[in-house]
Amino acid sequence: MKLVLVTSIVLGGLIFMPSVSAEDDLSEAHLNRIRTNCVAAKNSLNQLHANDALLRVNRGQMYEAISVKLMASMNSRIALNRLDGGEMVKITADYNRQLEEFRSSYQVYEQALSRLMRIDCAKKPAEFYSQVGSVRDLREEVNENVKLLHDGIKDYKAAFDKFSSEFKGEDK
Amino acid sequence: MTDETRRRLGLNRESFNAWKHDHRLALMIFGSIVMSLALVVVSMYLYSSSGAAQLDLSRPGYSSVRGRASSNDKIDTFPSSGTITKETIQEFEALYSRYADEATAIDAFGGDVLNNRELGIDGPQEP
């Protein structure tokens, strides 16, 4: 009986700990500041949400077009001409994997941002503050994925330059 | 439903069949509504889980940016067949460099727009 009671207290404590500590971490002055700036913060988030959606559509199209319309086409042409483009094929595969990561990380970020926008910051300032931190981390993750995609684009260019100089050398 | 239960409820197979026959239209309408609701739930699940919702700028709240979405058609396709010559290499080089520069020019999703200070929710001790 005692064991059940202790286990229930520990489990209950673990479940309720995050919200309690979030409330405890913030001073009353800080909570009041969040409540006061609630409307302005929500407006900024709405604007960010719309701008990020546009960025996702435009950037996503650009990244996908580079893979499908340029990288894959060139790799196919190299293969049809029985030339060695192995490194470029590998970079394209890595790039496509990274593109998939970008899509899923953005989806997770957007869903978290939508949840944040639904929180009533006037009534739940601590929860709002804590969720802003999580969304910020998720946005950084999307940015990391974008940087890796940019690295992939540059790597492909370097591999193509190498292929090009080898081809020109053979062609002489 | 067992015969015993039907007897307790005052129903028998004949009266149940007669009831179904009398309410055919209502049952069909009810069935259609249930089926369409189920299909809406499935399609909404697919819409949100597939990532299509994130790309749908026709949703409310995106009206301010809707007109600024670019078309995929503006990017030229490099032909995937044909011989490889110095000219085709130069052609690809120019095409790739143009789009690669355009794609990598913007540090998308960078910056500190979700900074507590930017949102006006920073605490007294925050830098």
Q: By C-alpha distance, which of B64, B40, B56 is closest to A114?
A: B56
Q: Is residue A5, in this structure, part of any structural domain at all?
A: no
CA torsion through residues A70, A73, A78, A81, sign:
negative
Say yes or no for a CB contact (<8 Å) between A66 and B80. no
Q: Is residue A127, in this structure, part of any structural domain at all?
A: yes
- pLDDT tens column, A75-119: 999 999 999 999 999 999 999 999 999 999 999 999 999 999 999
CA torsion through residues A82, A84, A86, A91, sign:
negative
Give me the number of domains chain A comprises. 1
Say yes or no for a CB contact (<8 Å) between B78 and A74. yes
Could you give the ipTM of this predicted complex?
0.76
CA distance A146 to chain B (A): 7
User: Which pLDDT score, from 0 to 100, does residue A7 have?
Assistant: 56
CA torsion through residues B76, B78, B80, B81, sign:
positive
Q: Is residue A80, in this structure, part of any structural domain at all?
A: yes
- pLDDT tens column, B13-54: 788 888 888 999 999 999 999 999 999 999 999 998 888 988
Of B81, B109, B122, the CB nearest to A139: B109
Q: By C-alpha distance, which of A123, A121, A127 is closest to A45?
A: A121
pTM for this one? 0.80
Half-sphere exposure of A154 (CA within 13 A, CB side): 8
Q: Is residue A74, in this structure, part of any structural domain at all?
A: yes
Say yes or no for a CB contact (<8 Å) between A139 and B82. no
Of A83, A128, A157, the CB nearest to B100: A157
Residues of chain B in contact with residue A107, where contact means CB-CB under 8 angstroms, are 51, 54
Q: From CA B42, how far away is CA B23, in angstroms rounded?
A: 29
Q: Is residue A90, in this structure, part of any structural domain at all?
A: yes
Whether A130 contacts B116, CB under 8 Å = no
Q: Is residue A27, in this structure, part of any structural domain at all?
A: no
Q: Is residue A137, in this structure, part of any structural domain at all?
A: yes
User: Which pLDDT score, from 0 to 100, does residue A20 have?
Assistant: 44
A40 touches chain B (CB under 8 A): yes
Residues of chain A in contact with residue B84, where contact means CB-CB under 8 angstroms, are 77-78, 81, 83, 167
Type of residue numbered B27: L
Say yes or no for a CB contact (<8 Å) between A77 and B54. no
What separation in angstroms does the CA of B99 have from each of A78, A92, A100, B67?
Answer: 20, 16, 20, 22
Residues of chain A in contact with residue B71, where contact means CB-CB under 8 angstroms, are 61
Q: Tokens 């340029």 correspond to what residue?
A: A70
Residues of chain A in contact with residue B104, where contact means CB-CB under 8 angstroms, are 150, 153-154
Q: For residue A151, what are the domain limits?
A: 32-171
A59 touches chain B (CB under 8 A): yes
Q: Is residue A78, in this structure, part of any structural domain at all?
A: yes
User: Which pLDDT score, from 0 to 100, does residue B12 have?
Assistant: 75
